[in-house]
A and B are shown apart, each in its own frame.
Chain A
Amino acid sequence: MGFRFLHSSDWQLGMRRHFLDDDAQARFTQARIDVIRTLARVVREREAAFVVVAGDVFEHNQVGDRTVDRALGALAEIPVPVFLLPGNHDPLEPGCLYRRPAFAAACPPHVVVLDDALPRSVPGCPTAEVVGAPWLGKHPREDLVAAALAGLPAPAAGVRRIVVGHGAVDVLQPDREAEATIALAPLEAALAAGTVHYVALGDRHSATAVDARGAVRYCGAPEPTDFDEQRPGRVLVVDPCSAVPQVDEVTVGTWRFVDHRAELEQPGDVDALLAELTGLPDKERTIVRLALVGSLRIDDLARLDTELDRLAGAFASLRRWARHDDLRPRPDALDERVLALSGYAKTAWDELCAAARDEADGPDAIAARDALVLLHRFAARGGDA
């Protein structure tokens, strides 16, 4: 009898992003709960028999009871068994959230914490067996998946064994935490021997097939968490019953992280950038990081500042990436008709221009640039008056 299940991981519940204000953070937090309900919908639509979550369900063991309660409340809506694997963010260490009385009290019966490496049958799905490789502390000294599989007898005939693990796989990141790195070779051997049929991994927030057959996979985070993630916001619907597992990626995420780089040299460049930002959809769920380089006239610079300030309100976050931002004023291209400065104002302007042209990005040069923009603003207003 065949079956399908959902492979998810890295919910990171309780995560906070410092570049979000309180309002945006509240929405960000809510989205991570809502996506659990989306999984429940996918379960129903795709008739999945169970769900495995391969680690980092929570951002930290020290999240508050309210976060735990809200997560369990959403999990209760999933109509099939759910296996939660403790990962490096929420290991089964002393004081961990899975052992809190509050967790035990609110945990629905169909939600199971994989707190040991013993094979488990799946209620309602006799041909499935789940083996977890839980993190028992923050610094494991071995390949937990390999340890879980060591000495494990072959599953009963007709039973498909799903291994759930968490961590980096040696072929993708050979350096990382050498002792705990998951070795791919033994997994491939086990898959070939038919003692394991699918390895559901977590930790990597980008959906990734690790082995050639696609039986060892990272599903990625269901909602993105950072700028550097590839194809986040998905859940895998896995059918492990054929010789090669059948895997569908279903998009469930609603938030976006956007890194935008632009070179600005002309007033037109400013217009293009602003148009592009204005055109982005779902701004309230979009986090934008701008890296702007080049040089602009003072009036364009002032205009850019004003417009970005205005646009920022629409986005969940719109910020300049200070480390990669290098936009300089071009005071020599000052529009004399706008300013019509003369006398001491003109000599002061010239002095500030010289200071702002300084190639070093010292605080004096920055202050001089800001002062120029300010002077431009006041002088222009005087011209209007």
Chain B
Amino acid sequence: MRIHRIRVRNFKAVEDREVRFAAGVTVLEGANETGKTTLVDALDLLLRREIKDSSTARDVTNAKPIQRDVAPEIEAELESGPYRLVVRRRWGRGRQQRMTELEISAPERENLTGDAAHDRLHAILDATLDTALFRALRVVQGAGIHQAALERGGWLGRALDEAAGGAGGRDEHEQLFERVRTRYEEFFTPKTGKPRRELADAERLAEDAQLRLDEAERQLAELNDSIEQHAALGVRIRECEARLPELRAREGESQALVTELEKARLEVDAARQDVQFKRYELRALERELEARSTSRAELARSAEAVAAAENALREATESAARAERDAQSARGELEAARREASDSRSLLDQARADRDLLARRARLRLRETDLQRARELTDRLASAEQLARHRLDDERASAIQDATKAAEIARAALRREGPRVALTALGAVDVDIGDERIELEPGARRDLPVGEGLTVALPGRLAIRITPGTSGDALRDELRTAEQRLRQALDETGLDSAADATRLWPQVQAARREVADLRAQLERLAGELAHDELGVVGSLTAWISGESRALAELQARRAPTAGELPGDASAAEDAVTAAAARVEVAEERLHRSGAHAERGTATLRAAELRAVEARSQHDARRANHDALARELEQHVAERPDDALRSAAGAARDALRHAEVRLAALGGRVDEDLLEQRQMLLQTDRTRRQRAEDLLSELRQDRDRCEGKLDALGGKGLFEQVEARRAEHRARADQHERLARQGAAARVLFETLHRHREAARSAYRRPLREQIVALGRLVHDRSFDVHLDDELRIVQRIDARGPIPFELLSSGAQEQLDLILRAAVARLVAKLDGSAGGVPMIVDDALGYADPERLRTMNALLGQVGQTVQVIVLTCHPDRFAAVPGATLVRIDGPAAGYPPSSSA
């Protein structure tokens, strides 16, 4: 299709405008809102199938100018296929205002109006234009720069098909492919290609049926085995039953032979036992005779032993009595020694107590002297302490001294250096100087310091007040300070003058020294006595009275037997020494007699023990002797010695007889033969036993077999097997059928899919080649792209490698998008019957392009314009100025009058 001309009246902001378009590139340039896009929108509206002149669609009502009651109208001159036509349409309120007109000038002239014109227009467009592609190749202003959704099929599809040599990609094949895919997915999952449930179930069911069949067959086989086993058992049982009678007979014969031989041997054994018994009998009698003579000898020995024990007992008893006597005398001596020791210790204690009493009396007298002295010292201390408590101390005394000295110095300085008044008595005169009245001799001179101020008066006549003014202020201040300090120090000590202080200070110091000395003396007198509360005098007084009471008490308590108290300490000490010597002698005696008594006691114990032992031995021997005697006596009573001797003789005779009989039997027993026969019998018995056991086992087995057969017989195992075989067969068939269908679906799908992929690849190639050819005008020789099945650019490839489309910059995306459209437009333009394909409309593009890129894109548009009609709308005067061979159309402001358009 080619657009020759568009005229718009009363359409949105445009009153009336007509633009003519070149066959190649037309650049429509104008400022924003000058109606460039309106022109293209108007063409779209004119060509839309569903928009008739009576339409009230929003796009139509929006087209009506605001605040003007006029009908929008569009007119376009187009060429599509063999048709050249002009179409006009006006949308209005009433029938009068509406209008659709179609003027066809080629190939044959036709004029149509109303719906007929509308229908004819769309019939022509349907036959000669791929409208979907036309729309896809539009870049609508403000709609972004995403890739156009390119419809498959249509002109592009045909163009690609032809360019790819008819590789094919048409809809009916896609439908076929979808059917095949659906069929495939009935059997297999789309992603993993695993069998779906129906197929898997069929296989599982077949396997399950096989398992059940196997189980049934196993049971039937087991039953058949039992039948076979039963038959085999029958044969063996009959064999066994046939053999048994012979085995039993043979065992019976062997048994008879053995029994006979065993009977003979029993007789010999009995005779041998008889001999043995009689031998034992004789030996017993002989032993009893021997025992009796032994007992008698033993009884005699026992009597001797009893006599010896009696002697020993007597000696031991006497020895014990002697020891008892010795022990008693030792104990008497020990008792006397103890008494003496006790008495002498009492005497010593009394002597010591007397000595202590005398010592304490002497100390009491000393303490009474100390008390006298302490009373004197305490009186002296009280008077010394009174003076010592004065407030004067080292610090204060030197402070008073220092302050006195400083005041004197200040005063001297004031006198020396302060204002002074010199008085010279011209005659005798009384002068009051301050409060003092002095008499001055004529010619007497007085030089007086003014000090703080000085009043000199001639009493009754004149008073002169002299003040120092400011002269000598510093000296006066110094003096005042010194005097204040002196006064303060005196106040603290309670003294009136520095002189008092000077006088008193040595006395105070002496008193303080005396206090310390007296206290020390008192301390020495007190000694170890506690005297904090009562004072030294009180403590001493208390101690003396207590000690006096204690001594009086001791004196009173002294034993009346103690005799006279020694005269003095020395006599007391002598009495102590004498008493101690007596104690020593008494204790020595006590020690000796104690050891003697202990030895006596030990001797006594040993003698008593020996006596007990002797008695015990004597008793035991006596008892033993009595028992022996009783026993012998009893034996003899039971069987006198003569009877015993005659019984032994009889036993000897019986033994001889038995030995003779055994010797007579001995030769008749053949042990080897018996053993041989017994072994044979054992063999025969084992054989018979085994045969019976076997028979019993076989019968049990047969019974078990029969039991099993009876139990399973009516179950119809065979029919179960057959039923399961049929079930298995049916399921296996079903599975095989499904598997075969699945295999067919898989082979078909995979084959078709493979060829389809190959075809698609071939189908993409021509478009890619076009894109690459155009892209290399803009980029370099390494430019390439990768297209997907939907013919979208998914990657741009250059010397740096592939870059996904969505990661490209906005500018690069827009440029690539434009290249894709241009490539499509060029491909379609070559298609037979497309009559130059579809116009490519570019609305306000390449805003992001740099100057160099803009230049190359301009060149690209020029190239495209050689085969395709290109309409470029731009608001930027220079952006598309360099498109080779382009026709430039400028639009200025909303058109009011007749078109100011121009065409090249």
CB pair B718–A60 under 8 Å, yes or no, is yes
Of A341, A343, A368, A385, which contacts B747 at CB under 8 A?
A: A368
Interface contact A62-B716, CB-CB below 8 Å: yes
| Residue from B719, B726, B746 within 8 A of A62 (CB atoms) | B719
Is the beta-carbon distance between B744 and A345 smaller than 8 angstroms?
Answer: no
Q: Is there an interface contact between B718 and A371, defined as CB atoms closer than 8 Å?
A: no
Closest to A62 in B: B718
Among B180, B713, B723, B758, point to the contact of A378 (Cβ < 8 A).
B180
**Complex Cα gap A64–B234 (Å):** 26
* A-chain residues with CB within 8 Å of residue B230 when the two chains form the complex: 93-95
Near A by CB (< 8 A), chain B positions 214-236 give 220, 223, 226-227, 230-231, 234
Are A14 and B741 closer than 8 Å at their CB atoms? no
**Which listed residue, B183, B226, B705, touches A374 by the CB 8 Å rule?**
B183
Chain A interface, DSSP helix/strand/loop, else mixed: helix
Closest to A60 in B: B718
Q: How far is the CA of A364 from the CA of B740 in the complex (A)?
A: 11
Q: B727-780: which have CB < 8 Å to A?
A: 729-730, 740-741, 743-748, 751-752, 754-756, 758-760
A84 at interface by CB-CB < 8 Å? no
Pair A59/B166 contact, Cβ less than 8 Å: no
| Range, interface on chain A | 35 or more
CA distance A64 to B231 in the complex (A): 22
* A352: chain B residues within 8 A (beta carbon): 747-748, 751
Q: Are B179 and A18 in contact (CB under 8 A)?
A: no
What residue in chain B is nearest A319 (Cβ atoms)? B733
Q: Which residues of B contact A346 (CB under 8 A)?
A: 168
Q: Which of A19-27, A206-214, A232-240 contacts B (4 or more CB under 8 A)?
A: A19-27
How many whole Å from A71's CB to the nearest CB in chain B? 13
Complex: chain B residue closest to A25, CB-CB: B726
Report yes or no: A344 in contact with B758, Cβ–Cβ below 8 A. Answer: yes
Instruction: Please state if A18 and B726 are interface contacts (CB–CB under 8 Å).
Output: yes
**Is there contact, CB below 8 Å, between B748 and A375?**
yes
Q: A366 in the interface, Cβ–Cβ < 8 Å? A: yes
Q: Which residue of A lies closest to B717 (CB)?
A: A62
- Please, which residue of chain A has its CB at the minimum distance from the CB of B754? A348
- B715 near A378 with CB under 8 A, answer no
- Which of the listed residues B223, B748, B760 has the most CB atoms from chain A within 10 Å of its own CB? B748
Any chain A CB within 8 A of the CB of B582? no
The answer to the question of A347 belonging to the interface, with a C-beta cut-off of 8 Å to chain B, is: yes
Contact of A100 with B752 in the complex, beta carbons under 8 Å:
no
CA distance A29 to B726 in the complex (A): 14
Interface 0/1 of B153-168, CB less than 8 Å to A: 0000000000000111
For B723, what are the chain A residues with a Cβ–Cβ distance below 8 Å? Answer: 16
Partner among B226, B227, B716 whose Cβ is within 8 Å of the Cβ of A67: B716
| Beta-carbon nearest neighbor of B745 in chain A | A374
- Residue A66 at the B interface, CB < 8 A? yes
With A18-B729, A348-B751, A352-B747 in contact, do A378 and B712 touch (Cβ < 8 Å)?
A: no
Are B744 and A367 in touch, CB under 8 angstroms?
yes
Give the residues from 685 to 729 in chain B that come closer than 8 angstroms, CB to CB, to chain A.
705-706, 708-710, 712-720, 722-723, 725-726, 729
List residues of chain B with CB within 8 A of the CB of A96. 713
Please tell me if the beta carbons of A343 and B169 are within 8 angstroms of each other in the complex.
yes
In the complex, the answer to whether B748 meets A19 with C-beta atoms within 8 Å is no
B876 interface residue (CB < 8 Å to A): no
Q: A344-B756, A351-B755, A370-B740 are in contact. Are A95 and B227 (CB under 8 A)?
A: yes
| B720 contacts across to A, CB distance below 8 A | 64
Which chain A residue lies CB-closest to B758?
Answer: A344
Residue pair B173, A343 in contact (C-beta under 8 Å): yes
* Cross-chain contact B747 with A348 (CB below 8 angstroms): no
List the A side residues contacting B715 at CB < 8 Å: 62, 64
Would A345 and B740 be within 8 Å (CB), given that A94-B705, A378-B183 are in contact?
Answer: no
Q: By the criterion CB–CB under 8 Å, are A370 and B719 in contact? A: no
Task: Answer yes or no: A88 CB below 8 A from chain B CBs.
Answer: no
Q: Does A306 contact B (CB under 8 A)?
A: no
| Chain A residues closer than 8 Å to B758, beta-carbon distance | 344, 347
Bound together, the chains give a CA A363 to CA B712 distance in angstroms of 44
Say yes or no for A102: interface residue by CB 8 A criterion.
yes
Residue of B nearest to A343 (CB): B168
Contact A345 B751 (CB under 8 A): no
- Assess A344 versus B726: contact at CB under 8 Å? Given A62-B223, A351-B755, A381-B179: no
Among B172, B712, B713, the most chain A Cβ lie within 10 Å of the Cβ of B713
Q: Return the contact of A14 from the options B180, B234, B719 (Cβ within 8 A).
A: B719
Contact present for A363 and B751 (CB under 8 Å): no
- Across the interface, name the chain B residue whose C-beta is closest to A100: B713
A345 adjacent to B176 (CB under 8 Å): yes
For B67, the chain A residues whose CB sits under 8 A away are: none
Chain A residues within an 8 Å CB radius of B170: 342-343
Contact A63 B719 (CB under 8 A): yes
Write the chain B residue with the least CB distance to A68: B714
- Is B175 among interface residues, defined by CB-CB distance under 8 A? yes
Asked if A137 is an interface residue, CB under 8 A from chain B, the answer is: yes
A382 within 8 A of B: yes
Contact indicator B743/A378 (Cβ below 8 Å): no
Most buried by B among A19, A344, A351: A344
Residue in A62, A343, A366, A367 whose CB lies within 8 Å of B220:
A62
Residue-wise interface mask of A (305-328) relative to B, using a CB-CB cutoff of 8 A (1 in contact, 0 not): 000000000000000000000000
How many Å lie between the Cα of A254 and that of B859 in the bound state?
94
**Is A97 positioned at the interface, with any CB of B under 8 Å from its CB?**
yes
A60 to B740 CA separation, bound complex (whole angstroms)? 36
A65 interface hit (Cβ, 8 Å): yes
CA distance A310 to B263 in the complex (A): 100
Are A348 and B752 within 8 A (Cβ)? yes
- Closest CB in chain B relative to A361 CB, distance in Å: 13
Interchain CA distance A367-B169 in the complex, whole Å: 26
Q: What residues of A have a CB within 8 angstroms of the CB of B754 in the complex? A: 348
Contacts of A374 in B (CB 8 A): 180, 183, 744-745, 748
B752 & A345 in contact (Cβ 8 Å cutoff)? yes
Per-position binary interface string of chain B over residues 228-252, scored 1 when its CB falls under 8 Å from any chain A CB and 0 otherwise:
0011001000000000000000000
Known contacts A370-B743, A374-B748; decide if A19 and B729 are in contact (CB<8 Å). yes
- Cross-chain contact A66 with B755 (CB below 8 angstroms): no
Name the CB-closest residue of A to B702: A94
- Given the known inter-chain contacts A363-B743, A378-B180, please indicate yes or no for A62 contacting B167, CB distance below 8 A: no
Residues of chain B lying within 8 A (CB to CB) of residue A61: 227, 713, 718
Find B176's partner among A97, A137, A382 (CB 8 Å cutoff): A382
In chain A, positions 335-385 with a C-beta closer than 8 Å to chain B are 341-348, 351-352, 355, 363-364, 366-368, 370-371, 373-375, 378-379, 381-382, 385
A16-B723, A19-B729, A381-B179 known; A347-B755 Cβ under 8 A: yes
* Chain A residue with Cβ nearest B168: A343
Name the CB-closest residue of B to A29. Answer: B719
> Complex formed: what's the CA distance from A344 to B762 in Å?
10
The residues of B that contact A370 with a CB separation of less than 8 Å are 740-741, 743-744, 747
A20: min CB distance to chain B, Å: 7
* Residue of A93, A94, A352, A379 with highest tally of chain B CB at under 10 A: A94
Contact A94–B231 (Cβ < 8 Å): yes
Residues from chain A with a CB closer than 8 A to the CB of B760 are 344
* Contacting residues of chain A (60-88) with chain B, CB-CB under 8 angstroms: 60-67
CB distance from B235 to the nearest CB of A (A): 11
A64 engages B714 (CB within 8 Å) = yes
Chain A residues lying within 8 Å of B730, measured Cβ to Cβ, are 18, 21
Bound-complex Cα distance A20 to B752 (A)? 39
Partner of B744, one of A25, A137, A373: A373
A18-B729, A363-B743 given. 14 additional CB < 8 A pairs? A18-B726, A21-B730, A62-B713, A62-B717, A95-B223, A344-B169, A344-B760, A345-B168, A347-B759, A355-B747, A367-B743, A367-B747, A370-B741, A382-B172
Could you give 23 example pairs across A and B, Cβ below 8 Å? A14-B718, A18-B725, A22-B726, A25-B726, A60-B719, A64-B719, A94-B227, A94-B705, A95-B223, A95-B708, A100-B714, A343-B168, A343-B169, A345-B168, A348-B751, A348-B756, A366-B743, A367-B740, A367-B744, A371-B751, A374-B745, A379-B176, A385-B175
4 tightest CB-CB pairs across the interface, nearest first? A343-B168, A64-B716, A95-B709, A370-B744
